Amino acid sequence: MRVGAGKARIILKEEFMEPEEFGSIHLPLHARALFIESVNCVLIVSLELTSLPDTEANEMKREIAGYTGLGEEQIWICTTHTFSAPHLGIVRDGKKEDRVSVEYGYLEAVKTAVSEAVRMAADSLEDAGLQIGTGYCDINTGRDVELPDGWWIGKGDGLTDHEVTVLRFLGRHGRTIAILYHYAVQSSVLDGMRLSSGMKVVSPDITGIAGNTIEKYYEEDGAYALFLVGAAGDQAPVEKAVAETYKNGNKVITDAGEQAISVCEKLGRKLGRTVIEISQHTQCVRGNGKISLGKISFRVRGKKMEANVKHLYPARDYVYVPDQEREVCVEALCLGNLAVIGVKPELNCITAIGIKERSPFPYTIIATMVNGSAKYMADKKSYERCTYEAMNSPFYAGAAEILAEKATLLLEQMQAENSFLNHTGDKK
């Protein structure tokens, strides 16, 4: 196996920030890249953005394929889902026609950072080994909360996935080349927070701070830390700057303001330290050393979405209106006794936990926001409860369960084809 990693800053001009009322930068946003070559090749890009629309994701993949020689199916472009970054795709959606040149400039800035990170990763390929480990971190919580009028977003007591999975790539003389870590949380501590000036801050939020913490620890090795967001549709940080609830049918919003920055840094450092601790006790990935890539596409029932999410509110009798079918894609990357599932929709954690339990691989990661975005795909119980994830979804009830079945089928097929059979150890 050969591995290389790279990182580049996304250069933000004021004109990219102003339309969404971002007035300053708490911490810069970055593009990180991980190139893995093991008979087959795969490139993973992690972008500190809220999301990446399909059009932009496909455009980036075509361009990366052009200068790397990889097939587009070998490229995974992922976002960390920080809520404190300017959005892409607004111009195409027809919401801000006067922003055409500004947004194209922003897109070019992102693509420039991606190109720099990818080329750095490709140019630094070296012989490497892969180790994996899991651990626990409690900076996330279930966010579905029952109010008198229905379910809404808050700090709930529902199912929470606290597991952290860490992949550590080791080069010559035990040097850490890269850390790839996975956790189910939305990087949203600073989402909507206003400074005393009334403006918002750009920030990679908790996972960006975690990445910086990890990279600082492995500074002598020159390692880079990439984040894959898990099934975090119903998972949120335990503390947030802005809290929103409803009392007597009225929306009530509180904003902790600038003091929330220290909360964000505290939670991010805790996640980073957890990843570092896990990385010190990893085990070698076993089995067939060839990278295998798989993909399955299918259609599910769709539903209409509210054009303006501000029109959503807690309701026990929300009416789901059917719409045209949606095409869904599940991708998989397998290496030895490790499998990584990649999907566009934001899944609830129960869906990912179910896939992991049925997976034939000892280690299974379910990553969301991969190669595009598709909003929420909630589980059936969420539709019965009329949670925010269910109401704000383009998919009808039952889609998540179909996705879980298809993902499991894909993993079973790939396990049978790989026939690594020599793995030992408990499923993680």
Read off the amino acid at residue 14.
E
Question: In the chain, how long is the greatest CA-to-CA distance?
Answer: 63
Under a CB-based contact definition with an 8 Å cutoff, are residues 413 and 269 in contact? no
Under a CB-based contact definition with an 8 Å cutoff, are residues 71 and 104 in contact? no
Residue 376: closest CA among 396, 397, 355, 390: 390
Element of type H or E holding 222: none
DSSP output for 112-180 = HHHHHHHHHHHHT-EE-EEEEEEEE--SEEE-EEEETTEEEES---S----EEEEEEEE-GGG-EEEEE
pLDDT in tens, 306-320: 989 989 999 999 999
Delimit the domains of the chain by residue range. 291-418
Burial of 104 (0-12, 13-18, 19+ CB in 10 A): exposed
pLDDT (0 to 100) of residue 96 = 55
pLDDT in tens, 148-173: 999 999 999 999 999 999 999 999 89
pLDDT at 12 over 70: yes
Residue 288's pLDDT band, with cuts at 50, 70 and 90, is: confident
Strands 22-25 and 200-202: parallel
pLDDT (0 to 100) of residue 91 = 53
Residue 344: closest CA among 313, 316, 369, 367: 369
Query: What six digits make up the tokens of 364?
Result: 């299974």
- Measured CA to CA, the distance from residue 362 to residue 29 in angstroms comes to 34
pLDDT in tens, 356-366: 999 999 999 99
Q: Inter-axis angle of helices 399-418 and 349-358, to 10 degrees?
A: 30
pLDDT (0 to 100) of residue 286 = 84
Question: What integer best gives the mean pLDDT of the chain?
Answer: 95
pLDDT in tens, 255-287: 999 999 999 999 999 999 999 999 999 999 987
Residue 247's pLDDT band, with cuts at 50, 70 and 90, is: very high
pLDDT at 347 over 90: yes
DSSP type of residue 259: G
Q: Which long-range contacts (CB under 8 A, 24 or more apart) does 112-116 make?
A: 112/8, 112/11, 113/8, 113/9, 113/10, 113/11, 113/30, 113/31, 114/8, 114/31, 114/33, 114/45, 114/47, 114/60, 114/64, 114/77, 115/8, 115/63, 115/64, 115/67, 116/6, 116/8, 116/31
Chain centre distance of CA 279: 20
Residue 420's pLDDT band, with cuts at 50, 70 and 90, is: very low
